[in-house]
Chains A and B, each alone.
Chain A
Amino acid sequence: MSNVAELLRGAMSRAARWETGLAVVVVAVIIAGAQTSPQFLTGNNMFNLGLSNGEIAIMVLPMTLIVISGEIDLSVASILGMASALLGVLWSHGWPMPAIFVVVAIVGLAAGAVNGLLVTRLGLPSLAVTIGTLALYRGIATILLGPNTVANFPATYTDLGVNGVPGTGDNMTYSTLIFLVLAIIFGVVLHATPFGRSIFAMGASADAARFAGIRVKRIKTILFMLSGLVCSLAGVLYTFRLNTAVQNNGLGLELDVVAIVLLAGVSIFGGKGTMIGVVLAVLAFAGLQNALLLTNFNQEATGIVTGALLLASVFVPNAARWLRYLPQKFRPRKVRSPDIHPQEI
């Protein structure tokens, strides 16, 4: 008897996981999307969906690891912008594209290293540091390009931004492919390697992790550098997709990235989260944006939906706690009222 009950409870708690809820949301979004527009489930629309969310999705992956490790990186969109500006400037100075890629990657790594070293070696809060580098890296992008726009990129590269991967019937963008490959790599690293375990450990308690022999500072620095590298890659993709390098490329995307990570059920305090949740959250976010795009909802106001999802992501897991708490809070009043009322009447 008790065995069955325990099994049931185990199954229940497993079913009540955050990822399950997210999967339900994703399915609901797909159904709602298909209801609102017959175009929603077409390959062409899926291509557009991947196109407009590819860079955000890619930047979500390293951010997940950073948040699980107990830090945050708000400079991601600025690194994207800086990479884009650098790409534009070097190209307009006639550099060969492969050399530009190397330089952009190195600059991305360096930008991440600056974040990481400031956070780990000087012991500064990452929230404050990366607000600073958010301004700094965007500022460098602005210094590099000023009011100029570089748009004469060669077609061989810009085609990568607008054409599908061969063999997928032109339904999958390169950025989607890169996202999927990276998501698998990041997922394996996070959930199946000692490195990944140590990220969870330091997120749960940095001190305990340090005493357990985990090189907290080194790993955090590596994570920030990884984020810098991936964001510079996103910057290159962004530039080729729009065929423009301007200083405000990707402005404000950091909030979208953080929103997706939190929606995925990753704890803002670190130590909790799964890569499957992140992939589902990306799907939910992208699906919603896309479904709203097909309706005549004001495009700039889709943030309302993102915000509401974000609120749901913090309130739904806590709902069980309140349901337990509320009856306790109101019980004394119910007991007292019969005593008082008859006398007063």
Chain B
Amino acid sequence: MRATILNRRQHPPAHGNKSAIGNGQPQGPAKTRAGSLAERVFRIRESGIVVVLGVFVLVTAAIQPRFLNLTNIQFVLIDTTVFALLALGETMVVISRNVDLSIGSVLGLSAYASSNLFAVHPGINIALVFLTGMGIGLACGVVNGTMVAVGRVPSLVVTLATLYIIRGIDILLFSGKQVVEAELPSTFLDIPRSTIGGIPDLAIVIAAVIGAGAYYLRTYRSGRELYAIGSNPEAARLAGIPVGKRVFTAFAASGAIAGIAGVLWAAQYGTIDASAGTGYELQVVSAVVVGGVAIFGGSGSVIGAALGALLLATITTALYVLGISPFWDQAIWGFLLILAIALDQTITVRLTSALRKKRTRHE
């Protein structure tokens, strides 16, 4: 069954290598050349987002210099943190050719349940609240991961179902109730607000976490294996990669991250009800895709996804600063998303033909 979805997207690096072996070519140089070329394109892909981001910021600042003042930059960075954190978890799942649509609901449940602890047990340790949030998220992620990895059913269906179920549980438990800012301790509310040298602490921490995530996926064996699974699950299985275990871990991590993001969401907004984070999953998937992560797995990076989140958050703020009605936000988002996917595809096609040309030249 999975094989049908396999054929929808062919991955250029795998393609190139396979043919090289078929031709009986000396594999060493061809492989490194293909590798370096692919690497260069990957680098271009991420720098592409940086260029778009840079141009966007410059144009906005040229029209409205107020855009580059400190408060505004802080605002964008804070807006990005939760978003980029969720994008990190989602990237791990998407790279393995799965998708986690339940993160919006997990965030909502975690946001209410954890911040509610402050109302029920005043003076509770903040670390404990974060642990609770993470635990709730982890539990949801484990359920998703078990169903996808052990049950071997499509993740789109499973997480669509848990999106409903988790939100339903959230509503059954907490509907009609609210946690308000007055119930939350100021130390908790200060988490997204405190800054070092003008840069929000939280943004630095999240950047470090994303850096660690990127390093893990790039360097560690289990991280690399997620890419292998995403570019060809059957081949990965035959190569001895514990596919189920890795996919399970990706979902568990995504859930835990969504749980933590829920607590941060609570700290950021102060007022939380059962509808927190509704529909957020599609925004996160958008950020991931804008960041150059292929929706059918196998390629992309956490840094790219985080930059995608930053870009989308910047656009929202820039439109606001430029005095463009916020009613334009969503249309521009959508347009940009489609543009990003189309661009990604063009690069992939170019890369494939470049590899093919290179091979024929050597024959």
CA distance A303 to B169 in the complex (A): 9
CA distance A258 to B286 in the complex (A): 19
What is the size category of the interface that chain B forms with chain A? 35 or more
A318 touches B152 (CB 8 A): yes
A146 touches B327 (CB 8 A): yes
Shortest beta-carbon distance from B323 to chain A in Å: 15
Residues 227-268 of chain A, each 1 if its beta carbon lies under 8 Å from chain B, else 0: 000000000000000000001000110010011001000011
Q: Which residues of B contact A70 (CB under 8 A)?
A: 4, 8
A307 touches B162 (CB 8 A): yes
**Chain B positions 303-334 with a Cβ under 8 Å from a chain A Cβ:** 325, 327-334
Q: Indicate which residue in B9, B151, B171, B334 contacts A136 across the interface (CB closer than 8 Å).
A: B334
The CB with the most chain B CB atoms within 10 A, among A137, A271, A307, A311, is that of A307
- Is A131 close to B, CB under 8 A? yes
- Is B239 close to A, CB under 8 A? no
B172 touches A301 (CB 8 A): yes
Shortest beta-carbon distance from A343 to chain B in Å: 32
- Is A48 close to B, CB under 8 A? no
A133 touches B338 (CB 8 A): yes
A137 touches B172 (CB 8 A): no
- Output the nearest chain A residue to B154 by Cβ-Cβ distance: A268
**Chain A positions 132-168 with a Cβ under 8 Å from a chain B Cβ:** 132-140, 142-143, 146-147
Q: Indicate which residue in A132, A146, A255, A314 contacts B286 across the interface (CB closer than 8 Å).
A: A132
Q: Which residues of A contact B282 (CB under 8 A)?
A: 74, 131, 134-135
Q: Indicate which residue in B4, B168, B285, B342 contacts A271 across the interface (CB closer than 8 Å).
A: B4
CA distance A81 to B329 in the complex (A): 16
- Output the nearest chain A residue to B7 by Cβ-Cβ distance: A207
- Say yes or no: A205-B4 contact (C-beta < 8 A), given A131-B285, A135-B330, A301-B172: yes
Residues 74-93 of chain A, each 1 if its beta carbon lies under 8 Å from chain B, else 0: 10000000000000000000
Q: Indicate which residue in A122, A268, A304 contacts B168 across the interface (CB closer than 8 Å).
A: A304
A139 touches B171 (CB 8 A): no
- Output the nearest chain A residue to B283 by Cβ-Cβ distance: A135
- Is A38 close to B, CB under 8 A? no
Q: Which residues of A contact B147 (CB under 8 A)?
A: 311, 315
**Chain A positions 259-312 with a Cβ under 8 Å from a chain B Cβ:** 259, 262, 267-271, 298, 300-308, 310-311
Q: Which residues of B contact A310 (CB under 8 A)?
A: 157, 160-161, 164
A137 touches B9 (CB 8 A): no
- Is A23 close to B, CB under 8 A? no
The CB with the most chain A CB atoms within 10 A, among B154, B327, B338, is that of B338
- Output the nearest chain B residue to A136 by Cβ-Cβ distance: B334
- Say yes or no: A136-B335 contact (C-beta < 8 A), given A259-B164, A304-B164: yes
Residues 136-167 of chain B, each 1 if its beta carbon lies under 8 Å from chain A, else 0: 00000000000100011110111011111101
- Output the nearest chain B residue to A255 by Cβ-Cβ distance: B160
A304 touches B295 (CB 8 A): no
Residues 321-363 of chain B, each 1 if its beta carbon lies under 8 Å from chain A, else 0: 0000101111111110110011001000100000000000000
- Output the nearest chain A residue to B153 by Cβ-Cβ distance: A314
Q: Which residues of A contact B194 (CB under 8 A)?
A: none
A307 touches B171 (CB 8 A): no
B328 touches A143 (CB 8 A): yes
CA distance A154 to B109 in the complex (A): 43
Q: Indicate which residue in B9, B164, B175 contacts A307 across the interface (CB closer than 8 Å).
A: B164
Residues 183-214 of chain A, each 1 if its beta carbon lies under 8 Å from chain B, else 0: 00000000000000000000011110000000
- Is B289 close to A, CB under 8 A? yes
CA distance A70 to B152 in the complex (A): 19
Shortest beta-carbon distance from A18 to chain B in Å: 14
- Say yes or no: A314-B338 contact (C-beta < 8 A), given A70-B4, A131-B282, A301-B171: no
The CB with the most chain B CB atoms within 10 A, among A143, A251, A308, A313, is that of A143
CA distance A133 to B1 in the complex (A): 28
- Say yes or no: A314-B172 contact (C-beta < 8 A), given A124-B342, A132-B337: no
Shortest beta-carbon distance from A286 to chain B in Å: 16
Q: Indicate which residue in A131, A206, A298 contacts B171 across the interface (CB closer than 8 Å).
A: A298
Shortest beta-carbon distance from A320 to chain B in Å: 13
CA distance A124 to B339 in the complex (A): 11
B165 touches A136 (CB 8 A): no
B175 touches A122 (CB 8 A): no
CA distance A141 to B4 in the complex (A): 36
Q: Which residues of A contact B35 (CB under 8 A)?
A: none
- Say yes or no: A143-B331 contact (C-beta < 8 A), given A127-B295, A255-B164: yes
Shortest beta-carbon distance from B335 to chain A in Å: 6
Shortest beta-carbon distance from B312 to chain A in Å: 10
Q: Which residues of A contact B331 (CB under 8 A)?
A: 135-136, 138-140, 142-143
Shortest beta-carbon distance from A264 to chain B in Å: 12
The CB with the most chain B CB atoms within 10 A, among A147, A270, A303, is that of A303
- Is B296 close to A, CB under 8 A? yes
CA distance A309 to B30 in the complex (A): 51
15 A–B contact pairs at CB < 8 A?
A: A123-B345, A124-B342, A128-B337, A131-B282, A132-B335, A134-B334, A136-B331, A136-B338, A139-B329, A146-B325, A252-B279, A259-B164, A268-B157, A269-B5, A314-B154
Q: 19 other contacts beyond A132-B286, A139-B334, A318-B151, with CB at 8 A cut-off?
A: A74-B282, A122-B342, A125-B296, A125-B341, A127-B295, A135-B330, A136-B337, A142-B327, A247-B327, A258-B160, A269-B2, A269-B154, A301-B171, A303-B167, A305-B168, A306-B164, A307-B164, A314-B154, A315-B153
Interface residues of A (CB under 8 A from B): 70, 74, 118, 122-125, 127-129, 131-140, 142-143, 146-147, 204-207, 247, 251-252, 255, 258-259, 262, 267-271, 298, 300-308, 310-311, 313-315, 318
Minimum-distance CB pairs A-B, first 8:
A139-B331, A136-B334, A135-B334, A304-B168, A307-B164, A139-B330, A303-B164, A307-B165
